[in-house]
Every structure is written in structure tokens, then in C-alpha cells.
Structure 1
Amino acid sequence: MVKLKVTQVKSKIGTKQNHRDSLRTLGLHKIRQSTVREDTPEVRGLIHTVRHLVVVEEVK
């Protein structure tokens, strides 16, 4: 199963509430913090919401 490594690269200060909620749901709280998630449609949707704040890499 493919996993996605999601790293926050920009601050959530000044963003919309749903962007902050998406980051929290992904498990991101600080800049340069990373989490590894399963590649599911739900996770892809969360990443799409905050695509300007995060960087995504595939992990095998």
C-alpha cells in the first residue's frame, strides 16, 4: 500500500478555519512537522484543501 508523507511548510496563521481544521486532522501542528498517512480519497481531499501549505511525497 502506498503511503503519503505530508510536511507542513507554511504557517496556518491567517488562514480559514477549515484549513486549520484540515491541518489538525492530518496531524500537523508546526512548520516542518511531517506525518505519514495512507493514500485514501479522504486524505487526498484534506491535502487538496491545504495544498498551498504542505508538501506531499510518496513513501513505499
Structure 2
Amino acid sequence: MDVPERNWKSSSADVRERAHWDDCRQAFSRVLSATSTRWAPWYVVPADHKWFPRVCVSAVRQAW
């Protein structure tokens, strides 16, 4: 919504869903905490720019 060229991707449903964002983040955090184990960990990486998650994933894979 901050980038006018991408507003075509947004709908009124998106605006309504934003009201639930805090609840969704808390649920997401609980799920990851409950299911991430030492032998099968979850990694959350930011995906704002395509190159950055690729660097993060590469670093995680090298750590194995």
C-alpha cells in the first residue's frame, strides 16, 4: 500500500485482515516455537528483497 505501483495487488479484504495482524504474528510465533526442534529447526528470514533471503538461506545451509 506504500508503493502506488503495487496497489493493484491489494483489496479491501487486505485492509480488514490487517486488524488481525498482531493475533496472526502471535499464533505464528507459538507454532514455530512448538514445532522447531534441534534436529528439525525453523528459520525465519526476511523476504523484503529477493537477494536477502537467498543470502540467509545460503548461510544456514553452510552451517549444517
Classify the TM-score, shorter chain. Answer: under 0.3
Q: Which of structures 1 and 2 has the bigger CA Rg? A: 2
Judging by fraction of residues, say which structure has more strand.
1
Higher relative contact order (CA 8 A, sep 6+): 1
Judging by fraction of residues, say which structure has more helix.
2
